[in-house]
Amino acid sequence: MGENKRATLGGRLSAVLVAAGSAVGLGNIWRFPYIAGENGGGAFLVIYIGCILLLGVPVLLAEFTVGRHTHKNSVGAYRLLSKKWSFLGYNSVISSLLILGFYFVVSGWTLEYFTSSITGAISEYSSSVVNAERFADFTTDPVRPVIFTVIFALLTHVVIALGVQKGIERSSKLMMPILFVMLVVLAIRSITMPNGLEGLKFLFTPDFSKVTAKTFLDAMGQAFFSLSIGLGCMITYSSYFNDKTNLQNTAYNVVILDTLVAVLAGAMIFPAVFSVGIEPTSGPSLVFVTLPSIFNTMTFGSLWSAIFFLLLILAALTSTISLHEVLTVYLNEEWGISRKHAARCVTLVTTLLASASSLSLGVWGDFKICGLNLFDSLDFVTANILLPLGGCLTSIFAGWVLNKQILRDEISDHGRLKARLFGLLVVLLRYVCPTLLLSIFLYNLGLFTL
């Protein structure tokens, strides 16, 4: 596809829904509740929102600026703006590949839990102990999780192969509203369970006695992961925005939707957890182990469970699409490979990596990188190293290297919009974001040598 024929998204709503589709994912529904649970609930929420406002909004606007100004893939975009900084584009390509290496695996689990809910198999596992065993048996199995991982990768492939408008734009417009409705229905169901209000209290009453330095670091990492920023994913998506897209409004809407979904996911999960008297601190298995046992106590348990896992599938799919697109459009534009062929290469490579990382939870578990199996090391390296580092460099680039006029023109839509907070944005990008993000990075590097 020649550059002049590059796809653009339709109206204003498309830009918001597509970007929100990338942002809203397993990060909001699976990761946010368990991280909030481990960090005391309400207090975490307050700090998380602080991170979103101070770090999330500026870096998101910086990525939107780079993408929309250049209308190129992340490598091409940085190269066009400054040759020296094109390494940041490669960081984006490598990180997207590595994230997909574990994201496809967890997405595959959601597909298996959905099928087991439909067939009713899930209702045989009534207690959390049995559920935990089932989860462990399934995730360490050498065949079944790999099959589901491959199916999920193929689903993503189909959407990408359909193209930016017919695939990405259409699927986001269809899936995002459904996702939202399902989430609200599930949250209402959960809050109305006996003792459900206890869960809401946990989420909304800040108890700062549980806050430690790690809470801040967890909140920053979660904010970046959840908004899909730091890795140039939003550069790729905003390169399809048209020249009328209002970047400020799009960024605010994406941030609001993403945070709302995370809060609603909390409002769905904590009341259910409290109503059956389980501790909210059970970690990554919260969604896969705790929730199915709660569904089993409900009438029509399998139905609720099916709705919940379908919700997770849709959320995960709109995010895997965005990660896949970063790689596909990179191969397409930088290597001159046709889009269809590029998509096939990406699907093949990411599927192989994800299958290996699924196997690393079981039969290939002895193969360790710095003490972690492949699955955990992919998660660790991306979320704890590449993401904060990428975010830090992105803000330095936008604050110090990028021509101020380009930033102002994009943010104000060439003077058509008021950019009242422009001065504040520059201060945040120049000083606040790099300092805070460098601190997460150094902290995590410390963890690395432990």
Nearer to ligand TRP, 131 or 236 (CB): 236
The span from the first CA to the last CA of the chain, in angstroms, equals 48
Among 60, 220, 231, 329, binds ligand TRP (CB under 6 A): 231
Nearer to ligand TRP, 164 or 233 (CB): 233
Nearer to ligand TRP, 314 or 407 (CB): 314
Q: Which of 178, 238, 164 is nearest to 1 (CA)?
A: 164
Residue 436 touches ligand TRP, criterion: CB under 6 A: no
Q: Which stretch binds ligand TRP (CB under 6 A): 21-29, 81-89, 123-131, 157-165?
A: 21-29
Identify the three-state secondary structure at position 228: coil
Question: At residue 291, what is the residue type?
Answer: L
Transcribe 249-296 into DSSP letters: HHHHHHHHHHHHHHHHHHHHHHHHHHHTT--TT-GGGGTTTHHHHHHT
CA angle 423, 427, 429 (to 5 degrees): 115
Residue 23 touches ligand TRP, criterion: CB under 6 A: yes
The answer for 422, left when phi > 0, alpha when psi is -120 to 50, beta otherwise, is alpha
Residue 394 touches ligand TRP, criterion: CB under 6 A: no
Q: Which stretch binds ligand TRP (CB under 6 A): 18-26, 283-291, 299-307, 400-408?
A: 18-26
Residue 34 touches ligand TRP, criterion: CB under 6 A: no
- Site residues for ligand TRP, 311-340, by CB under 6 A, read 319, 322-323
Nearer to ligand TRP, 9 or 26 (CB): 26
Residue 360 touches ligand TRP, criterion: CB under 6 A: no
- Site residues for ligand TRP, 96-155, by CB under 6 A, read 99
**CA 19 to CA 238: how far, in whole Å?**
8
Question: Which position has the token pair 């995590």?
Answer: 444
Identify the three-state secondary structure at position 246: coil
Residue 388 touches ligand TRP, criterion: CB under 6 A: no
Residue 190 touches ligand TRP, criterion: CB under 6 A: no
Q: Tell me how far CA of residue 201 lies from CA of 184, 261, 280, 283, in angstroms.
A: 18, 18, 12, 19
Question: At residue 289, what is the residue type?
Answer: V
Residue 26 touches ligand TRP, criterion: CB under 6 A: yes
Nearer to ligand TRP, 92 or 293 (CB): 92
Nearer to ligand TRP, 100 or 267 (CB): 100
- Site residues for ligand TRP, 201-230, by CB under 6 A, read 225-226, 228
Nearer to ligand TRP, 63 or 112 (CB): 63
**CA 201 to CA 223: how far, in whole Å?**
22
Shortest Cβ 175–ligand TRP spacing (Å): 14
Among 9, 20, 21, 25, binds ligand TRP (CB under 6 A): 25
CB 200 within 8 A of CB 267: yes
Among 22, 139, 347, 357, binds ligand TRP (CB under 6 A): 22
> Beta-carbon neighbour count of residue 410 at 10 Å?
25
Shortest Cβ 444–ligand TRP spacing (Å): 15
Residue 366 has which token pair?
């002895």
Q: Which residues are bridge partners to 211 per DSSP?
A: none
Binding positions for ligand TRP, rule: CB under 6 A: 22-23, 25-28, 99, 225-226, 228, 231, 233, 319, 322-323
